[in-house]
Amino acid sequence: MASTNTSTPAQYLIILLDLARQRGVTASAMLAGTELTETGLASIGARISENDFIHVVEQGYLLTGDQALGLHLGTRLNLSAHATVGQAFLTCETLQQVISFFLKYYHILAPALELEYEIKGGRFWLIPRSDYSEGHPVFSHELLFAAICHTMQFLINQPGLSFRIELPYPAPEHAHEYYPLFGDDVRFDCPRGRISFPEEWLEVELPSSNPALLALYEGECKRLLADLKGKVSLAEQTLQLLRRLEGHYPQMPQVASMLNLSPRTFRRRLETEQASFQQLLDQVRAEHASHYLRTTELPLLSIAYMVGFNDVSNFRRAFIKWTGHTPGEIRSGA
């Protein structure tokens, strides 16, 4: 589940409400139970809380009966829906510059999302972290991958581009809707979700390139990102930092310094959020260890070393304390 401190662009909500309206569901019905229950869209700002957005999504599934809601929403998220980030895409010189810009500023669109990427086997792979879709794996992957596919097809101006899609869940009843959008190479029941395309696409030149405008848009994106980070809790900032430092777990004073705080201030601010550095560090080490257990065949000793333990027995005791499960249970899927 998303942090209460994360938020979603209001444009995404408006498009989702219009999607529901086309299926005979009113905005008031969709917004019931959110902070917008009384005022509706009259008082909506630039962003809404992630919890409210998730609630509206759940209402959407319930009221519209549309089990492919993530796919249908993702394909409606055009460049205008992505606001400044989307306009910046149009001014890039190549698709590679678009991808680089996206990787720098995607938190403006989805603060809770953490992405990894790699170029391997002649393909570019974009990989959301395994904890990204907890609770809503089908919707989350459909929305992200459909939006990426739709945006790239528009930028390259070639409808029908084929992607390779790997999804960490069984084929849903509406799986037939994936193929017209992504192509034939869609795979279910994979260890993690990934989307990829040929590396050569990165060199495709875009017709609307405008370096001067891109510089202006980037300045605005820097401002938006800085403003957004200021609204994220210190605990969430700490988690994001530790997740990026996978395999390297610094001591509390080092993390405080990375976040431009003194150790004393860092500790005090976490206490006001009812959190502690050790608790956050253990959470991240549990996430990383669980990922290795589920997606690799590495021996327990190797995994123990990777998350900061010198022997298996101490790692096993800590893992049970963190998760309530043994490493073997996580590895077997029990």
Where in the chain are the domains? 1-66, 67-232, 233-332
In this structure, of 117-121, 122-126, 178-182, 229-233, the range with the lowest mean pLDDT score is 229-233
User: Is 119's pLDDT higher than 80?
Assistant: yes
Which helix (H) or strand (E) element contains residue 119?
strand 115-120
Q: Are 129 and 206 within 8 A, CB to CB?
A: no
Q: At what angle do helices 211-230 and 83-90 cross, to 10 degrees?
A: 160
The segment with the largest mean pLDDT, out of 202-211, 222-231, 291-300, is 202-211
pLDDT score, position 130: 65
Three-state DSSP state, 117: strand
User: Is 98's pLDDT higher than 50?
Assistant: yes
In CATH terms, is domain 233-332 a member of 3.50.40.10? Answer: no
The stretch 142-164 carries a mean pLDDT of 91
Q: What angle do CA 310, 316, 318 make, to 5 degrees?
A: 85
And the tokens for 253?
Answer: 């004073």
pLDDT score, position 334: 57
Which helix (H) or strand (E) element contains residue 287?
helix 277-295
Q: Are 322 and 279 within 8 A, CB to CB?
A: no
The phi, psi pair for 113, rounded to 5°, reads: -80, 140
Reported as a pLDDT band with limits 50, 70 and 90, residue 3 is very low
Q: Could you report the per-residue pLDDT of 287-297, keeping only the tens digit for each? A: 889 888 888 88
User: Is 133's pLDDT higher than 80?
Assistant: no
Q: Are 198 and 158 within 8 A, CB to CB?
A: no
